[in-house]
Amino acid sequence: MNLEYFLKAEAPSWMGADGSDHDIVISTRIRLARNLEGFRFPLIFTDEEAKTVDRMVTQAFYQLNDENHNFSHFAIQEMPALQRQVLVEKHLISPMLAQSDKYASVIISQDESISAMVNEEDHLRIQCLAPGLKLMETYEVANKLDSRLEKLLPFAFHNEFGYLTSCPTNVGTGLRASVMMHLPGLSMMKQMKSLTQMLARFGMVVRGIYGEGSENLGNMYQISNQITLGKSEDEIIEDLQNVVMQIIEQERKARHTLLSQSKIALEDRIYRAYGTLKHARIMTSEEAATCLSNVRLGVDLGIIKDVSKHILNECTILIQPGFVQQYAGTTLEPAERDVFRAKLIREKLNSENLK
């Protein structure tokens, strides 16, 4: 596959609406951090070491190509900044990898459900994505891939500490399990701050839509484990599953409270957002994300019936700065992006209504 295939303006398979609890849980992600024995960590290694690591990892992935997997490799340094940004917006690479000035790359499966970042913070970060709440199923995919790679690559492992990583917080299992959740009810009820503080006590962390260091956008939050050492993979996943189920219950209660106590105000908020998306001529990414969040809530509550989740997922991808410019085929100034973004959303929603 060439890079253009992965830059297309479509919602990837892991943003589908067929996962468990898909009215609240957008997607599940499992990430495994691994390093190769005998090489320094990316923060201090040489360009020659970086190229050797990249070559070893890429060859290993290509050996795994079969009827189930078709992996493609792309060097980050060969990509223009805009293409890197699009891959960040599709959650295929991290902002840190996109800004890398060292030899780094990404390996992507044809359906985009698996990606591997090479020479980011660690030599290898395997990422598996799935729609809805599928923590154990997604971990099993990642674990199987990890086991196959471990037969081909000399992973750095310590009998006492487990997998060795660049950052001490990842030592042990090297596992980061996370769930992307749409939490407009808790946000409207001003409960996100207390929820974040409560989760910290259980070794969990709340991050923005692009992970560590990013901000919340459109009431989307990533809930993930913070502890990787001293617990098994199964224990980490079970703990996160239990926490996520409690958050789902709280979000549903918040939505019920809004419907029962402020139904007219809620409907007005949802329909105003729908009208803005269908008719606005200028729209920032923040305003678009907020409106899409309100419309998604309206669809989940049965208030809006003529908009599909697929269109909302695609618009969630399209509204972001990199994608707007990729779709336009040229670099745009912020004001030009706002005009083009509004046009794209109108076209998507109107084409949906014509079906």
User: What is the tens place of the pLDDT at every residue in 87-103?
Assistant: 999 999 999 999 988 89
For residues 315 and 343, give the distance between their C-alpha atoms in angstroms, rounded to a whole number.
Answer: 11
User: Is 30 one of the annotated binding-site residues?
Assistant: yes
What pLDDT does residue 64 have?
93
Q: Binding site annotation covers 211?
A: yes
Q: Are 111 and 12 in contact (CB under 8 A)?
A: yes
Query: Residue 184: which H helix or E strand, with range?
Result: helix 184-188
Determine whether the annotation assigns residue 16 to a binding site: no
230 is in an annotated binding site: no
- Of 92, 70, 72, the residue nearest 14 (C-alpha): 92
Average pLDDT of span 125-153: 96
Q: Give me the long-range contacts of 16-19 (CB less than 8 A, separation at least 24).
A: 16/131, 16/132, 16/310, 16/313, 17/131, 17/308, 17/309, 17/310, 17/313, 18/131, 18/132, 19/130, 19/131, 19/132, 19/133, 19/134
Q: Consult the annotation and say whether 185 binds a ligand.
A: no
Does 91 carry a binding-site annotation? yes
**Locus of tokens 């985009």:** 112
Q: What is the DSSP letter of 214?
A: P
What angle (nearest 5°) sits at the alpha carbon of residue 233, between those of residues 232 and 238?
100
pLDDT in tens, 318-335: 899 999 999 898 999 999
Fold of the domain built from segment(s) 3-255: Creatine Kinase; Chain A, domain 2 (3.30.590)
Region 22-49 average pLDDT:
94
- Please tell me whether 214 is known to bind a ligand: no
Q: How far from the centroid of its chain's Cα atoms is residue 269's Cα?
A: 27
16 vs 130: CA distance, rounded Å:
8
The per-residue pLDDT for 333 is 95
Q: Which CA distances in Å does 274 have to 71, 165, 277?
A: 39, 46, 5
Q: Predicted confidence band at 228 (pLDDT cuts at 50, 70, 90)?
A: confident
pLDDT band (50, 70, 90) for residue 310: confident
Task: Confirm whether residue 160 is marked as ligand binding.
Answer: no
Q: What is the pLDDT of residue 353?
A: 57
Q: Across all residues in the chain, what is the average pLDDT?
A: 91
**CA–CA gap between residue 188 and residue 183 (Å, rounded):** 9
Q: Is 31 annotated as a binding residue?
A: yes
pLDDT of residue 261: 95
Q: Which of 68, 170, 63 is nearest to 124 (CA)?
A: 170
Q: In angstroms, rounded to a whole number, what is the distance separating the alpha carbons of residues 259 and 267?
A: 9
* pLDDT given for residue 67 in this prediction: 72
Ligand-binding annotation for 27, yes or no, is yes
Radius of gyration of the chain (CA): 21
The amino acid present at 161, given as its one-letter code, is: F
290 annotated ligand binder: no
Q: Is 295 annotated as a binding residue?
A: no
Q: How far apart (Å, rounded) are the C-alpha atoms in residues 333 and 345? A: 18
Query: Which of 57-71, 161-175, 277-291: highest mean pLDDT?
Result: 277-291
* Residue 309, pLDDT score: 86
Output the pLDDT for position 230.
Answer: 84
Q: Which of 3-17, 225-239, 240-254 has the lowest mean pLDDT?
A: 3-17
Does the annotation flag 212 for ligand binding?
Answer: yes
Q: What is the pLDDT of residues 1-30, one digit of tens each?
A: 789 888 876 667 667 656 678 899 999 999
**Looking at residues 169-194, what average pLDDT do you find?**
94
